[in-house]
Chain A
Amino acid sequence: MIEPAIKTDELTKRYRRATALSDCSITVPQGRISALVGPNGAGKSTLLRLLTGLARPTGGSVLVLGSAPRQDPGFLAGIGYLAQDVPLYRRLSAEDHIRAGARLNQGWDDASARTRLRQLGIPLDRAVGTLSGGQRAQVGLSLALAKRPRLLLLDEPVAALDPLARRHFLATLATAMAEAEGSLTVVLSSHLVADLERVCDHLILLAASRVQLCGDIDELLAEHTVLVGPRKDTTALERAHTVVRATRTARQSTLVIRRGGPVIDPAYQAGDISLEELVLAYMGAAAPAAYAHLSTVGEEQ
């Protein structure tokens, strides 16, 4: 059996004041490109930092490429990490970063990094602090890829980019995935699933520092159904299915359910669910009560 790229078990990270991640158990198989989605503050960055070994867990276990993250060249060689806001040395150029990378990493792919940046028209000799956000993100991604990692972790890489730069970034990533032929696993985080829908085939949904969903996107979509029907008691329905989220207006209910079998109640009209609806349903269910009205607008008391 091929070991998963990531396997965590009840992974927990507590800071002095708050719990950033609670009992997080996820598995990401190798060769997948996984979207790590959740609202701001859900624990996405914390999870990625725990996977790199930059942060250490307070509880639970984590295996990345079969070993616990640690300060050792064998582990570090396997991972590529692009932190939020692309922290690079602002006064150094892309060229300097590439040269530094070549000296710090064994299997460094110097040519690919240079070629990619040249194709994108990004100047190698200018201080990265003077580049645009999109260019800097591309430099960061190229550096992470040049390491030839087996697991690439990208924290909100497209959040600060305009739509065109976002598309270029994801295209670069998709090309790299294709070239790696299954030997590369990617996890990229975003607070907007729409950013990632086109490139990802796996989903990890975090909300309120807990895992809400984790799995293959196609399977997740197939397991869930949107039911639209009259407003009525759902006890019978809940016996067979899991109601993730119910939104009710005066006459009508919209239910997102995880199916436990075929839906036989003819009162409901069943429909496929989009990834965005699925994510919103789970995020809404996990939201604190104070925000509940935001996703149930129009509900009669």
Chain B
Amino acid sequence: MTWLVWRQYRISAAVSAALLAAFAVLVVITGLRMAAQFHAAFGACLPAGSCRFPVDDVSLGGGPMGFLVEFTLAVPALGGMFAGAPLVAREIETGTGQFIWTQNITRRRWLAVKVGWLLLAAVAWGGAVTALVTWWSGPKNAAYLNAFAPGTFDVQGIMPIAYSLFAMALGIAAGTLIRRVLPALAVTLGGYFAVRLIIMGWVRQHYMTPVTTTFSIAANYLPKGAFWLLDQGFRGPSGPLPLAPGNAAMVVGNGFPASDVPAACVTHGPLGGTQFGQATIACLGRHGYTQYLTYQPAARYWPFQFIEAGIFVVLAAGLIALTFAVINRRDA
């Protein structure tokens, strides 16, 4: 059976390997160049620990290669679409299922071998891509401290491996249920990005209770490293004040809603513009106003990776279990 799997997929495997090799060449060339650029810019301040990260310089790891690396978030979907979805659907569509499932092998055993190899291939495929991307992104991560950002978190660490497993399982289940290659392929693509988007947009931030730090209105405070900022604003004597829209920076005065400035502090200076005078800030502090930041600390990067990977592995397992339940129940 394994021989048949190899015979049927060896061309796909060769094509995938060739694509991967080409990508690896690009990654190594641009990655080495970026590392050199990073050391030229920060070689002096790094040993002294005096570098001011994150930097605003956007030239590091930008350009077409930057796009290509962000585009690797679609890589897991490819395996599910082109290897997972046709697994059962093509056998039914072309009728070859009638040949293979009347050999002396049960449908479940056939499925187990095929699914096993495809999931393994998904891990290898996602693993190879993420290894390259994670290495390549090293200097960029250090300079921009944006490891939690969408498009960064999702293409590094163990996420691409978990996503690949999920996409492959989704493709296999869709092909088994829908029994037609093209619709199954479309459902795999749509389903993959829908689930990813929902988890990224509404679920990920709740994996662990965020930390809220309250500090003086006159102070500048930033958590260490690549933290994930969820919310920030001012707190008055009667509770938090919503941040005025359009102002997200940390500089004191910015975004403080003018209508909330107590009458006693108005005399300290003009309220026009976005910056308050020192006297106004001091006055606000005396009247019980503080600032707060709600965020996920940088140290939670790996816990978050493992929690999200766990979610996708569980989803994949559920889809595979569904496939096994359905394969014998439907006529072939």
* Residues from chain A with Cβ under 8 Å of B95 in the complex: 83-85, 87
* Residues from chain A with Cβ under 8 Å of B4 in the complex: 100, 103-104
A73-B106 CB under 8 A given contacts A89-B8, A103-B1, A104-B1: yes
Q: In whole angstroms, what is the CA distance A140 to B103 when docked?
A: 12
Q: How far is the CB of A26 from chain B (nearest CB, A)?
A: 20
Residue of A whose beta carbon sits closest to that of B331: A55
Q: Which of A73, A84, A88, A104 has the most chain B CB within a 10 Å cutoff? A: A104
Residue of A whose beta carbon sits closest to that of B105: A104
Chain A positions 93 through 132: 1 when the CB is less than 8 Å from some CB of chain B, otherwise 0: 0001001110111100000000000000000000000000
A147 contacts the other chain (CB 8 A): yes
Residue of A whose beta carbon sits closest to that of B101: A54
B50 contacts the other chain (CB 8 A): no
Q: How far is the CB of B11 from chain A (nearest CB, A)?
A: 8
Measured as residues with beta carbon below 8 angstroms from the partner, the interface class of chain B is 20 to 34
* Residues from chain B with Cβ under 8 Å of A56 in the complex: 331
Q: In whole angstroms, what is the CA distance A97 to B95 when docked?
A: 15
Q: In whole angstroms, what is the CA distance A143 to B98 when docked?
A: 13
Q: In whole angstroms, what is the CA distance A88 to B99 when docked?
A: 7
Interface of chain B residues 87 through 105 with chain A (CB within 8 A): 94-105
**A100 touching B3 by the CB < 8 A rule?**
yes
Residue of B whose beta carbon sits closest to that of A93: B7
* Residues from chain B with Cβ under 8 Å of A96 in the complex: 7
B268 contacts the other chain (CB 8 A): no
**A77 touching B104 by the CB < 8 A rule?**
yes
* Residues from chain B with Cβ under 8 Å of A99 in the complex: 3, 7
Q: In whole angstroms, what is the CA distance A228 to B97 when docked?
A: 51
Interface of chain B residues 279 through 332 with chain A (CB within 8 A): 328, 331-332
**B104 touching A71 by the CB < 8 A rule?**
no
**B98 touching A87 by the CB < 8 A rule?**
yes
A87-B96 CB under 8 A given contacts A49-B331, A103-B3: yes
**B1 touching A89 by the CB < 8 A rule?**
no
Q: In whole angstroms, what is the CA distance A105 to B89 when docked?
A: 24
**A104 touching B103 by the CB < 8 A rule?**
yes
* Residues from chain A with Cβ under 8 Å of B8 in the complex: 89, 92
CB < 8 Å neighbour of A87 from B1, B94, B105, B331: B94
Q: Which of A54, A80, A143 has the most chain B CB within a 10 Å cutoff? A: A54
Residue of B whose beta carbon sits closest to that of A105: B104
Interface of chain A residues 134 through 154 with chain B (CB within 8 A): 140, 143, 147
CB < 8 Å neighbour of A100 from B7, B98, B101: B7
* Residues from chain B with Cβ under 8 Å of A103 in the complex: 1, 3-4
**B99 touching A83 by the CB < 8 A rule?**
yes
A8 contacts the other chain (CB 8 A): no
Q: How far is the CB of A177 from chain B (nearest CB, A)?
A: 20
Interface of chain A residues 47 through 70 with chain B (CB within 8 A): 49, 52, 54-56
Residue of A whose beta carbon sits closest to that of B11: A91
A79 contacts the other chain (CB 8 A): yes
**A76 touching B98 by the CB < 8 A rule?**
no
A72 contacts the other chain (CB 8 A): yes
* Residues from chain B with Cβ under 8 Å of A54 in the complex: 97-98, 101-102, 331-332
**B7 touching A52 by the CB < 8 A rule?**
no
Q: In whole angstroms, what is the CA distance A257 to B222 when docked?
A: 100
**B98 touching A83 by the CB < 8 A rule?**
yes
Q: In whole angstroms, what is the CA distance A236 to B100 when docked?
A: 56
Q: In whole angstroms, what is the CA distance A77 to B103 when docked?
A: 7
Q: How far is the CB of A51 from chain B (nearest CB, A)?
A: 10
A73-B105 CB under 8 A given contacts A83-B95, A103-B1: yes
Q: In whole angstroms, what is the CA distance A116 to B211 when docked?
A: 76
**A105 touching B103 by the CB < 8 A rule?**
yes
Q: In whole angstroms, what is the CA distance A89 to B99 when docked?
A: 9
* Residues from chain A with Cβ under 8 Å of B97 in the complex: 54, 87
CB < 8 Å neighbour of A81 from B3, B94, B102, B108: B102
* Residues from chain A with Cβ under 8 Å of B106 in the complex: 71-73, 76
Q: In whole angstroms, what is the CA distance A123 to B3 when docked?
A: 21
Q: In whole angstroms, what is the CA distance A83 to B96 when docked?
A: 9
Q: A88-B99, A100-B103, A104-B1 are in contact. List 20 more A-B contacts (CB 8 A).
A: A49-B98, A52-B102, A54-B332, A55-B332, A71-B108, A72-B106, A76-B102, A76-B106, A80-B102, A83-B95, A87-B94, A87-B96, A87-B98, A96-B7, A99-B3, A100-B3, A100-B4, A103-B1, A104-B100, A105-B104
List the 7 closest pairs (A to B, CB-CB), nearest first.
A87-B95, A83-B98, A104-B103, A55-B331, A81-B102, A105-B104, A71-B106
Q: List 24 A-B contacts (CB under 8 A).
A: A52-B102, A54-B102, A54-B331, A55-B332, A71-B108, A76-B103, A76-B105, A80-B102, A84-B95, A85-B95, A87-B94, A87-B96, A87-B97, A89-B8, A92-B7, A99-B7, A100-B3, A100-B7, A103-B1, A103-B4, A104-B1, A106-B104, A140-B99, A143-B99
A: residues with CB less than 8 A from B are 49, 52, 54-56, 71-73, 76-77, 79-81, 83-85, 87-90, 92, 96, 99-101, 103-106, 140, 143, 147
B: residues with CB less than 8 A from A are 1, 3-4, 7-8, 94-108, 328, 331-332
